[in-house]
């Protein structure tokens, strides 16, 4: 049914006063809540992305530092049984520490080598460990077969 009190500007009452259509306070509040939740989620996602990027960079650096220490140990013909630790001399690696352990194995002429890199990430300490085995290169194939 056609409303006689309807005008181009909105709904008019009997006194001739017209109300324009608009949003109620509830509608505006709901819209603001939706925008706020979306914005908070977006900011949280961005912060998490930055944290993951920093964590990835630290793990990559620790891996390269551990590999560097491992190469130093592998360059010896046959490392002695020992344990050592220290820090890196380079300024950009000052937050990283290393620990090396050369352990015996049940097999003669074979040593287990462990390199552990430790660093602080936020409030927690993170570690990365590489393990390899080094054979005595001075033992020939004839000696190892018992001849």
**Per-residue pLDDT reduced to its tens digit, 2-31:** 455 554 555 666 666 666 677 889 999 999
Structural domains in the chain, CATH included, are 19-144 (3.30.1300.30)
**Per-residue pLDDT reduced to its tens digit, 64-118:** 999 999 999 988 888 889 999 999 999 999 999 999 999 999 998 899 999 999 9
pLDDT of residue 17: 67
Instruction: Tell me the two tokens of residue 130.
Output: 């590489």
Are residues 83 and 112 in contact, defined by beta-carbon separation less than 8 angstroms? no
pLDDT of residue 77: 82
The more confidently predicted of residues 123 and 7 is 123
CA distance from start to end of the chain = 112
Cα 124 to Cα 50, 61, 120, 121, 127: the distances in Å are: 17, 17, 6, 6, 10
pTM across the whole model: 0.67
Residues 6+ apart with CB under 8 A from 132: 70, 74, 112, 113
- Give the burial string for 14-36 (b: 16+ CB within 10 Å, else e): eeeeeeeeeeeeeeeeeeeeeee
Quote the CA–CA distance of 118 and 121 in Å, as a whole number. 10
Of 72, 46, 65, 45, residue with least CA distance to 126: 65
Chain-wide mean pLDDT for the chain? 86
Are residues 144 and 138 in contact, defined by beta-carbon separation less than 8 angstroms? no
Three-state DSSP class for residue 78: coil
pLDDT of residue 6: 52
The predicted model gives 120-128 an average pLDDT of: 92
Does pLDDT of 121 surpass 90?
no
Percent of the chain with pLDDT over 70: 81
């Amino acid at each position: 049914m056609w409303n006689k009190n309807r005008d181009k500007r909105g709904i008019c009452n009997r006194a001739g006063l017209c109300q324009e259509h608009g949003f109620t306070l509830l509608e505006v509040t709901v819209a603001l809540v939706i925008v706020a939740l979306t914005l908070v989620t977006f900011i949280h996602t961005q912060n998490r992305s930055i944290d993951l990027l920093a964590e990835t960079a630290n793990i990559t650096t620790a891996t390269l530092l551990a590999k560097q220490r491992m190469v130093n140990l592998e360059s010896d013909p046959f490392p002695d049984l020992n344990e050592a630790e220290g820090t890196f001399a380079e300024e950009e690696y000052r937050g990283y520490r290393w620990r090396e352990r050369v352990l015996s194995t049940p097999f003669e002429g074979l040593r287990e080598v462990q390199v552990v890199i430790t660093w602080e990430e936020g409030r927690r300490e993170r570690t990365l460990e590489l393990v390899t085995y080094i054979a005595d290169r001075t033992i020939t194939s004839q000696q190892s077969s018992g001849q």
